[in-house]
Amino acid sequence: MGNVLNLLIRRVWISLLVLVGVSILIFLIARVIPGDPARIALGPNATDEQVIKLRGELHLDDPIWKQYGYFASELLQGDLGTSLYTNRPVVKDIAQFLPATLELVFAAGILMVLIGLPLGIISAKYEGRFLDNLIRVIALLGVSAPSFVWAVILMLLFAFFLPLFPIAGRIHTDFDIDRTTGFLLIDTLLVGNLRAFVDALWHLFLPAFALALSGIGQAARLTRANMTETYRRPYIEMAHSYGFPGWRVARKYAFKPSLIPSLTIIGLDFAAMLGNAFLVEAIFAWPGLSRYGVAVILRKDLNAIVGTVLIISAAFLIANLIVDLLIALLNPKIRYARRNP
């Protein structure tokens, strides 16, 4: 287990470094965009004195490295500054909008794994037969269109023409749920409102499915490819020669060894969903980080832009970290490799 811990520590360090790099980059980009944030924030009727005063408060006239210094030291204290758009601390804004996005992305990730992997396993087990071909067509469909296209199609089909699912939002406005965690699926359960829970789940399904579809296709294709490769290994023949039942061979002998290479891609897909979620949120009027992100970009709300990008990068890095850790835990060659032989 020492190996895994070492790996984890190393990966956390690298992630932190990446995060610092991202913060510098996004800070620079945000400062370089033309337009005076102070003037935009104060509106067209502000006097020059007011603008100069705000520029001073925001340190906008200092050299850029100094500005970054202020920013970084505040960041370390968990302070991302105040949004010029909402006039509230950026941290508060993000805390309000992030859970909706995370709920959507987690749901999509779960769908990706729960649907994509089994499809891949079935496909590989029935290689070359009807079921395999059917699944391959479905998987190809999934990866052939980006998630926002799926979002529009699914919305038209299953919310508009066939009104099976709600067309927009997270939950029916009749429900008034205390926001404890911000995750509606959890909050509704915390207050014991089962009908609200089902309603939230109902709202979540279409956007999550749209977001997951390409990931489902990707996971199925990858799992199938790795597993059919594994099926040609000698230990599969050995398993058959010992008469192990077909599904047991599929699971323990073909699937588990092929899961390791699949996981890396699944992890990347999952992280990519954070980005794709922006468009899906826009289509389904999902009150997540995308709405906030678009609004603050249009208003050149420096602190909010930097904060939003940083949070998304951090989520991306954490997702990758978890996948790396899972791989290390699954792969005995990493877990038990002799260190520096």
Partner 1 sequence: MNDLTLEIIDLSLSFKGLMETTKVLHDVSLTIGQKEKVALVGESGSGKSVTARLVLGLLQAQSKTRVSGTINFEGKDLAWMTARERSQLRGTRMSMIFQDPVSALNPVYRIENQFHEVLKRKRPTISFDDARVESMAILGDVNITEPERVLKSFPFQLSGGMNQRVMIAMGLINEPTLLIADEPGTALDVTVQDQTLRLMHDMVEERGTSVFFISHNLGVVREFSDRLYVIYQGRIVEEGKTEDVFANPKHPYTRALLAAVPSITSGDTISDAINDTSAFLAPREVH
The nearest distance, CB 263 to partner 1, in angstroms, is: 13
Among positions 314-333, residues that touch partner 1 (CB under 8 A) are 330-333
Residue among 27, 85, 165, 253 that touches partner 1 (CB under 8 A): 253
Tell me, by CB under 8 A, how many residues bind partner 1.
22
328 contacts 260 by C-beta, under 8 angstroms:
no
Q: Which residues pair with 82 in a beta bridge?
A: 89
Measured from the CB atom, is 136 or 233 closer to partner 1?
233
Q: Which residues pair with 307 in a beta bridge?
A: none
Residue among 22, 41, 239, 273 that touches partner 1 (CB under 8 A): 239
CA 95/CA 88 separation, integer angstroms: 11
Residue among 10, 64, 237, 285 that touches partner 1 (CB under 8 A): 237
Query: Considering only 39-47, 102-110, 238-246, 318-326, which stretch makes contact with partner 1 by CB under 8 A?
Result: 238-246
Binding to partner 1 by residue 252, rule CB under 8 A? yes
The nearest distance, CB 267 to partner 1, in angstroms, is: 19
The nearest distance, CB 138 to partner 1, in angstroms, is: 24
The nearest distance, CB 340 to partner 1, in angstroms, is: 16
Binding to partner 1 by residue 88, rule CB under 8 A? no
The nearest distance, CB 163 to partner 1, in angstroms, is: 46
CA 41/CA 58 separation, integer angstroms: 12
Binding to partner 1 by residue 244, rule CB under 8 A? yes
CA 51/CA 38 separation, integer angstroms: 6
Instruction: Tell the residue number behind the tokens 């799926």, with chain if given.
Output: 150
Query: Considering only 93-101, 160-168, 243-251, 287-295, which stretch makes contact with partner 1 by CB under 8 A?
Result: 243-251
Instruction: Tell the residue number behind the tokens 């029916």, with chain if given.
Output: 172
Structure tokens at 178: 């205390």
Q: Where are the alpha helices (DSSP H) in the chain?
A: 2-32, 37-42, 48-57, 64-76, 90-111, 117-125, 130-144, 147-155, 184-190, 194-231, 234-241, 246-248, 256-283, 289-298, 302-330, 332-335
Q: Which residues bind partner 1 (CB under 8 A)?
A: 233-235, 237-245, 252-253, 256-257, 260, 330-333, 336
